[in-house]
A and B are shown apart, each in its own frame.
Chain A
Amino acid sequence: MTDIISPQNEALAPALLTTPPVGGGVGLPGGPAKKRLGPFFWICAGWIGLIILVAIFANLFPLPKPDFENFANPQNAGPAWGHLLGTDDLNRDIFSRLIFGSRVSLVVGFGGTLIGLALGGLPAMYAAYRRGRVDTVLNTVSYAVLAFPAIVAVIAIGEFWGHQLWKITLVIGVFSAPLIFRVIRASTLSYASRDFVMAAKALGASDRRILGRELLPNILPTIISFGLIAVATIIVLEGTLAFLGLSVPPPTPSWGNMLNESASLLSGGKGQTNPWLVIFPATAMFSLLFTLNVVADKLRAYFDVAEVKL
């Protein structure tokens, strides 16, 4: 979203995360080494899994309500035994808000990517397989939409349509579709004219079978590794919107609007600052984006997905 996926910064994300082999194809003696994902991959994947599990089962933990302004609590307090990560300017528990706030990022990130895959990925496979006029038209449309700064479009649409979670997810998902279209189209094109597709055609396989059973398994690695980058990119876009106060409105916590609150404290508007309200959401956001990037990059290397030319 020009961020759709904008972001950011966004259109080049796959190119950025792909590091071509150094040495111009100098082979290792003794054949290629056995591929492994490595422990770092599993640590990062585990962290993402943990965040997802905690977000799903957040209600089961003995946490104070995330939007409960408990005046018995201290205001802007640092980490302490009663409040592991301290409290904010409205006496709310930061740890609880952080846990419940992860839901917004995860729903928008994964939901938006699924919408983008449905709206961009499916047409892309079909267009790249059939070529012809459909392909030309969809290709031009995707270029045109990508030229439009998605952050501006998403801000404008949110302004008149509203900022509920499902609306934000849908709008961001729609604007991520052109980018996903370009990536999946390029990947499908590289397989669509191979011999095994010809063979399937000669055997009389239907288009649906060729797309589903011959092409899809081959482009699945691209879908998975690029999909994770799309998730990270969409989370950044939602976070930016939330920081600008244009995503899911308070008191519902999200990492972006927690950073927005901390920034309004920084500007001294309320005569108080709370460093913890900056540090914890920023760290949480960094850890999620970083692990998503690592997992995507390692998977890309593992599956040997070629650098995608947009």
Chain B
Amino acid sequence: MRKQGYRIPLRIREAMDSCPGGLCFSMPDGRPILVNRQMNRVAALLTGHTVLDAEALWSELRAISAAGKQAGAEAPWAGASGAGDADILDFSLPDGGVWQLRRDVLRDGGQTYIQIGASDVTELAGLSRALSESNRRLQALQQRQRALLANIVQINREKELVSVKMRVHDELGQCLLATTQALRGGTISRDSASLAKGWDDAIRSLSNIPLEDAADASQEAELTAVAGMIGCRILFTGERPAGSGTRRLLYAAVREALTNAVRHAGADVLTVSIGRDDAGYRVEISDNGHAEPGPIREGDGLRDLRRRLEQEGAEMEIAYRNGVVLLLRLPFGAKQTGGGTND
């Protein structure tokens, strides 16, 4: 029965050998029934031997695939790589071809067979590689684009500054020229008033330039000053966040708390306590106002603030402890740009 079942007519074997793909049929225990020439060639290139046991071959191919992955081969096409536990494995052969091997279990009546097929996917792999390369280039271009956008306003300010410096340079040059001519022509006493005014203007313009480069007054100072305009003092305690993105989130929360405390609770002191642990900063913002006890309804301002905080992985909780208290957890490295980002 066994020999009868395995006998393959010569013409079928020849037809299988002329097939461009690799084919292997075996019993479930791995004993080969039919292996065509292409499959033996691919197996020999990958394992060093032809197909002796189909199941042993598949285990070997899986091991090669896993080793290729561990060696850091670029999936899916370079070196031995594959689809992990799935029954499809992809390989680059030493001859430059890329082949995909697939294992299927076939059932015919009560009998089970194992089929391993090998397909030449070299062209597909080439296209896939080209697509990956295009995607990589596109991502790099998009990164450059984003970097450009991030800096464009600063670049514009720098250009404006350069233009002012050039103007001041021209003004000083004109003053020097006019003064030299007045000295040479003996008209210095007659023109002294206009010359003095010219020099005053040029020197005033000049004195503005270094100040433009210096760090602007701190955002905290400005926030404290505008709070003073509406009769509220802000008391900060604790270490301020080091990162500018995290500081912006903090000040956005302080602004919202300040507005609500003055508008709805008549507060005149806002207290901002900042602490830190391994995960980030813990901030508590409270006031001395007279907010009504009870559930706190989040209006547009608090909702916008919550969205802005959560976008950066920060958290906000609102509590009532003799007044409304904002409890924040801010990450160390928030990248938050201005509130206008979403405009």
Question: Do A and B belong to a common assembly?
Answer: no
Q: Which residues from chain A sit less than 8 Å from chain B, CB to CB?
A: none
